[in-house]
Structure 1
Amino acid sequence: MHKTQKSIQADLITKILLISYLLILIWILLFKFGVQFSYMSERNINLSPFREFYTSAENVDPPQIILNILIFVPLGLYTGILFSKLHFFTKTALFFLVSFFIELFQYILKIGAFDITDIINNTAGGILGLLILKFLILLFGTHLKAQKVVNWLGILGTVLMLLLLILLKLNMLPIRYQ
């Protein structure tokens, strides 16, 4: 099938957004904004999915669960757009592998725990991104129109996220991450 100029331009924007997203994701999850946290010298491995739910209810952190899901939604959106020909299970395996390697590197670099629950939640976030894309395609009628909406939202989200991260790094917000 022959791609139109608009489709090629939209794909280029989506690719730039995907690369930007992955770089920001790595900076947030692996480099922790360039800040040394006290827990970074500890190494933990959790291979029991959702262990905190059945060990102690007070250890459950709903905001962390939600953030672990939401942080991978863009990966699902961009993957769904750029790799629409791939089978659903191949895309799901990609979400799993990206999350797995992030968790592995957090463990190796002593900047966090290797947690199977995070991998499951991140993978669910990627799948949620695919489902949102399917909904947008149904809502707007074509893949290209849905892609343009995702691109505009992605540009806005990327700019806002970069601004937030820069302001956090410069300690110019009333909240602190250290």
Structure 2
Amino acid sequence: MKNLKSKKQNTLTLVLFAIYLLALTWLILFKLQFSIPDMYGERVINPIPFLGSFCDSGMIQFSEIRNNILVFIPFGIYLCMLKTPWPFVKKLLAIAGLAFAFEIIQFIFAIGRADITDVLSNTLGGIIGIGIYALLAKALKGRTNKVINVLAAVFTILAILLVILLLISHRWVMIT
């Protein structure tokens, strides 16, 4: 009975993780656009950390860095849920690898600016996710994945509803 519950939890985690990865891809690669022509075609690579983060007034735009950190926090959490036995370094490499892959894809398809700052901030977000999972695991003991799955399911449903509203409003704008 306990093994069946554990298997259902793991399946739910995998489904939520897949939805998260789809949303992350839509966000990072497609910039939340509904059609590819809406995206700008730019093939730029920035290998210098924080260089692309400055606005016209010379100040660092921390909002972009913060957002890049925030969107990768769930990746670190899901990685811990799905790959508990992996050592920290292996999880870190998976996080940095995904962040780097997104930047390479952006460069290859000219759908954004490939920026080392994004890789660094995404990786930091994943590390924060690993830390959050570790804290929750200490506080919640054996219920950690169950609690995270419930919270993730609620946020996923809310996000899907938001996307539906955006699609409806986008369609409404196209009609009028």
Per the shorter chain, which TM-score range? Answer: 0.7 to 0.9
- Tell me which residue corresponds to 1:96: 96
Contact 1:106 1:114 in 2 (8 A): yes
- Tell me which residue corresponds to 2:147: 149
| Aligned equivalents of 2:30, 2:100: Cα separation in 1 | 16
| Aligned equivalents of 2:167, 2:100: Cα separation in 1 | 27
Flag the 1:128–1:37 CA change in 2: closer, same or farther, 3 A: same
- Consecutive unaligned residues of structure 2, counting only runs of 5 or more, are 171-176
Contact 1:52 1:59 in 2 (8 A): no
- Tell me which residue corresponds to 1:175: none
Pairwise CA distance, 1:141: 2.0
- Please identify, of 157-166 and 74-83, the stretch whose mean Cα deviation from structure 2 is larger: 157-166
- Tell me which residue corresponds to 2:9: 10
- Tell me which residue corresponds to 1:161: 159
Give percent identity, aligned residues only: 35
Alignment of 1:64-143 (within 5 A): 64-142=64-142
- Using structure 1 for the length normalisation, give the TM-score: 0.85
Pairwise CA distance, 1:53: 6.6
Flag the 1:54–1:97 CA change in 2: closer, same or farther, 3 A: same
- Consecutive unaligned residues of structure 1, counting only runs of 5 or more, are 173-178
Pairwise CA distance, 1:159: 1.2
Contact 2:46 2:52 in 1 (8 A): no
Coordinate RMSD, CA, aligned: 2.1
- Tell me which residue corresponds to 2:174: none
Contact 2:72 2:126 in 1 (8 A): yes
Contact 1:77 1:129 in 2 (8 A): yes
| Aligned equivalents of 1:53, 1:101: Cα separation in 2 | 20
Contact 1:43 1:110 in 2 (8 A): yes
User: Secondary structure of the residue that 1:113 maps to in structure 2?
Assistant: strand
Alignment of 1:29 onto 2:11: no
Contact 2:54 2:60 in 1 (8 A): no
For 1:159, give the aligned amino acid.
Answer: I
- Using structure 2 for the length normalisation, give the TM-score: 0.86
- Tell me which residue corresponds to 2:173: none
| Aligned equivalents of 1:94, 1:25: Cα separation in 2 | 15
- Tell me which residue corresponds to 1:51: 51
Q: Give the number of aligned pairs.
A: 167
